Structure 1
Amino acid sequence: MAPAAKTVCVMDASSGTGSALVAALLQRGYNVHASVQNHEELQCVKGNTNKLKVYRSDPLDYHSIMNALKGCSALFYSFQPPPDHSTYDELMVEIEVRAAHNVLEACAQTDTIEKVIFTSSVTAVIWRDGIKTMSSDVDERHWSDVNLCKKFKLWHALSKTLAEKTAWALAMDRGVNMVSINGGLVMGHDLTINNPYLKGAAEMYEDGLLVTVDLKFIVDAHICVLEDVSSYGRYLCFNNIINSHEEALTLAHMLLPPSSEAFSHSSLEESVVYQQGISNKKLIKLMVDFEGGVSC
């Protein structure tokens, strides 16, 4: 359970997951420093004003990060592309890696930080040669192959992989207690076909690796790994797998207009069901006794 006096930072709090996390933390009795990149995003962050402080922090500006972290015992960090460069490409890879380095360095220099929850992605895990010939499911021990990501221009996967590896290297070097949440495709209201996570979705689907996660589940997972002192390393976070024609069609309905060819029943084999090729057992085991909502 969360001690009421605990103060934590959420960065970037303007994302769908970030803002939901802020709300959940406030409900559990935490004091929250909500960090956003620009003032236009301040209205996205709402909650008990007595327990909420909003900061403008640029992940490429070390001093602004330090300011948001003052007095905090933990940081929830997720990268949000800057407003002037929202497309994942080679440049975004460099930006996200630099941001991860700055944030972990700032945490290392902040005496009060006890744990960092680093939001990564399943795309930092699944892109490897020979997936279909593996004797066991893909899990948190695996990493996406950097050269394969570059070859097929999987910029989101490359960005998440290199940023997370940078964060882990710095955390281990500086003695920062870090845990990562490698989330699936977050099923929020703003989900579209242009989500960079979906690059290579057909291949994910055929390999049994196309996974999604409900907003509440990924928020609960973040809070669980903070509050459970036994949490460590990486956690694959998803609560649904798209591995049948029916599920694929449902997802397509959410992502595409009704006139799209994706709705043609002939475009997918009705009978196809792909074997699941990924495991989230480590997270499910950790969360078995977790109770979301207000802390007692």
Structure 2
Amino acid sequence: MAPSFDISTHTVCVMDASGQLGFRLVQKLLQRGYTVHASIQKYGVDKEMFNEISADSDKLKVFRSDPFDYHSLIDALKGCSGLFYTFEPPFDQPDYDEFMADVEVRAAHNVLEACAQTETMDKVVFTSAATATVWREDRKTMELDLDERHWSDVNFCRKFKLWHGMSKTLAEKTAWALAMDRGVNMVSINSGLGMSHDLSIKNPYLRGAAEMYEDGVFVTVDLEFLVDAHICVYEDVSSYGRYLCFNHIINTQDDAVQLARKLTPAASSSMPQSDDHGKSFIEQRISNKKLNKLMVDFEA
């Protein structure tokens, strides 16, 4: 952490705080001494879920806001020096399909515009995904490893119905364009597949998983590591641009079998036991060196 960074002076907003990442970010930020505005979507979430985190109303304020209600965004961001933004699909449209990109792009646009109108805003940490970097026609022939300098090809995603990758790419590009136009200081976290307790085969990130595995770019991330990465890029004054975030790669048959068992526990008993002892090792073709270098001195 930079010596000049004084946590006690920072009020930050977490949006959407009702998701697993958002909720854990609220907890960790309060533990570190931040004042937190927990912004949750208007419907379907009970504010009471935050009561056990902090009884101090001066340190934690809960807002009901909606990325499609501009005024509610402004209210949640008022007085904040930072925003941690992660998109949660609307309750009435939970599935990623060809229309989700429009929803996610509009949400990103509204949130960044609200940040631009918040005079106290110093930095935005925008949660994107590794699927916004890995889907390219030339990915098998590239000489260099994929990293945060690369973008997924939207037309490629549309052609193969990779809706998660398409949505994340378009939303992140929208956010970057608006941030640069409005002078908003933004960094993005391009997260691998989150290894949450409720991970299932229905997770939209998993479409194209076999191809990601074969290409050596199928990466996952534990929730605690992902939370620490978000806080690190916010607190480090030298952070900039995009950061690929993962702490494991699925590139052996054992890895693939273990993940398959987690995703489909009912069918795990019929899956073959791996006895190849690493013979199916696939070379890693994706790099997170930029983030790892930044986090070397980070104190979680």
Question: TM-score scaled by structure 2?
Answer: 0.93
Contact 1:9 1:35 in 2 (8 A): yes
Aligned to 1:84: 92
Aligned to 2:104: 96
Contact 1:183 1:218 in 2 (8 A): yes
Alignment root-mean-square deviation, CA: 1.6
Counterpart Cα distance in 2 of 1:143 and 1:34: 31
1:127 alignment partner, one of 135, 140, 151: 135
Aligned to 1:27: 31
Dislocated runs of 4+, deviation >3 Å: 43-46
Contact 1:252 1:262 in 2 (8 A): no
Counterpart Cα distance in 2 of 1:202 and 1:162: 23
- Kindly state the Cα deviation for residue 270 of structure 1 after the two structures are TM-superposed: 6.9
Provide structure 2 residue ranges, at least 5 long, that are not aligned to the other structure: none
Partner of 1:181: helix, strand, or coil?
strand
Counterpart Cα distance in 1 of 2:111 and 2:71: 10
| 1:47 is the counterpart of 2:61 | no
Partner of 2:99: helix, strand, or coil?
helix
Partner of 1:125: helix, strand, or coil?
helix
| 1:136 is the counterpart of 2:144 | yes
| 1:198 is the counterpart of 2:202 | no
Partner of 1:212: helix, strand, or coil?
strand
- Kindly state the Cα deviation for residue 263 of structure 1 after the two structures are TM-superposed: 1.8
What pairs with 1:1-296 in structure 2 (closer than 5 Å)? 2-38=6-42, 40-41=44-45, 42-45=47-50, 46-50=52-56, 51-259=59-267, 263-265=271-273, 271-292=279-300
Deviation track 1:43-66 (CA, whole Å, cap 9, x = no partner) reads 443422321111011101111100
- Kindly state the Cα deviation for residue 258 of structure 1 after the two structures are TM-superposed: 3.7
- Kindly state the Cα deviation for residue 262 of structure 1 after the two structures are TM-superposed: 7.4
Contact 1:211 1:240 in 2 (8 A): yes
Counterpart Cα distance in 1 of 2:270 and 2:248: 21
Contact 1:108 1:174 in 2 (8 A): yes
Counterpart Cα distance in 1 of 2:197 and 2:265: 15
- Kindly state the Cα deviation for residue 91 of structure 1 after the two structures are TM-superposed: 1.7
Provide structure 1 residue ranges, at least 5 long, that are not aligned to the other structure: none
> Mean alpha-carbon deviation: is it higher for 83-92 or for 277-286?
83-92
Identity of aligned residues (%): 66
Deviation track 1:109-153 (CA, whole Å, cap 9, x = no partner) reads 110000000000000000001212111100000000000000011
> Mean alpha-carbon deviation: is it higher for 229-238 or for 186-195?
186-195
Counterpart Cα distance in 2 of 1:241 and 1:270: 14
Counterpart Cα distance in 2 of 1:69 and 1:248: 41
- Kindly state the Cα deviation for residue 260 of structure 1 after the two structures are TM-superposed: 5.2
Contact 2:218 2:249 in 1 (8 A): yes
Counterpart Cα distance in 1 of 2:32 and 2:236: 15
How many residues are treated as equivalent by the alignment? 291
Partner of 2:37: helix, strand, or coil?
strand
Partner of 1:94: helix, strand, or coil?
helix
Counterpart Cα distance in 2 of 1:224 and 1:288: 10
